[in-house]
Amino acid sequence: VQYTTDVIETTTALNTIGRLTPGDAPVTVKTERQMFGNIPAGSSATESYQININENAPAGLYNLILETEYSYAKYSNSLPNGMWDYTYQTVVVPVEIPIEIRGVVKPEILSVDTESISPGLNGKITLVIRNAGYETGTNAAAELTSQGGIIRYIDGSVFIGDFKPGDVAEVVFNAEVKDGAGIGVHPEKLAIQYTDKYGQTVKSTSENFGIPVTNGVKFAVTSGSIKIAPGESGRYEIVLKNIGDNTAYDTKIRLIPESEVKIDDNLASVGKLAPGESVTLPFNIAIDSSAEAIPYSINTEIKYRDASDRLILAKQIKIEVDTQPPNVLLNLITNPITIFVIIGAILVAIYYTRQRKNE
């Protein structure tokens, strides 16, 4: 039996399948192979692929490879019953797809240093950063974003200038910490805004890091309340202690009493006071004789300098003055007139005693 065989001039790619591979590009292809179906000559078909650019991918031109697999009718045979029998050929054709990976500025934080980042204070945050990317950022500026609202940045951004790959820069931010901020490490984000080589303004991906909020310098008066009676005066010791975790320099304390309380010299110089250290300060304190036997107070005004030599006013501390009722017996005994009378009585008694012995 003889069959008539004809060679077919193929014009349609049948059952076309495409598998995308990275080729020489530093990417990861996330999509499996896709079905494009039948594609007649001169026509096109579209499918989508998801790819991820590797984190440290260098900028440059690369080629992805689309491995296309399709079939076509190569021969046709005429059968006796008038039907046709087709022979198909499968072909795999690699297709290069050129891509350009643009360089980006990628911030890397090398170190974090803080000064006076404590509740209720203004402080500084110093970051040393490196451009770990492959793009030169023109007119680059570093920006910090507060995540928890605990820290407010007085400087919205800090100018760097041209930030080349591998360059290291130090940026200093002035910040204000909320009065009720919790002690601990608070998450923040750093990004770099810059102009790329195409003249477009770009913001880099954010780098997460933590900013420690500490107690800073914190004072307490540990000597307790002052006990004094109206009309009395005396030398009282005030114990001032640094209960924070930073050192206070050139510390000075001024006592500001209520009108009924009098202090001869209300200013004292303390100097350096490290965390955990205390100092005892004597003050001459008196209270008017007309003062009522009720509680009074003495307020403190404490000024110090931090490690950056900035003058800071500490929170006010109230020292209670516990006014005691007058000690009548003590006042009577210590009264000059009473003493004179007692001495006179003793002398008279001695005189009469001797007179009786002489008789």
Give the residues across from 153 on adjacent strands.
175
Regarding predicted confidence, which is higher, 47 or 148? 47
Residue 210 token pair: 């933590």
Distance CA 85, CA 76 (A): 6
Closest CA to 177 of 148, 206, 156: 148
Q: Read off the pLDDT of residues 52-94 as tens digits, 9 standing for 90 and up.
A: 998 878 888 999 999 999 998 887 777 676 677 778 889 999 9
Maximum average pLDDT range among 1-10, 188-197, 339-348: 188-197
- Sign of the torsion angle spanned by Cα atoms 221, 225, 227, 231: positive
Q: Mean pLDDT over residues 278-285, rounded?
A: 95
Residue 68 token pair: 């296309």
Question: Cα separations (Å) of 173 from 31, 109, 256, 311?
Answer: 44, 14, 36, 19
Regarding predicted confidence, which is higher, 224 or 308? 224
Label residue 1 by pLDDT band (50, 70, 90). very low
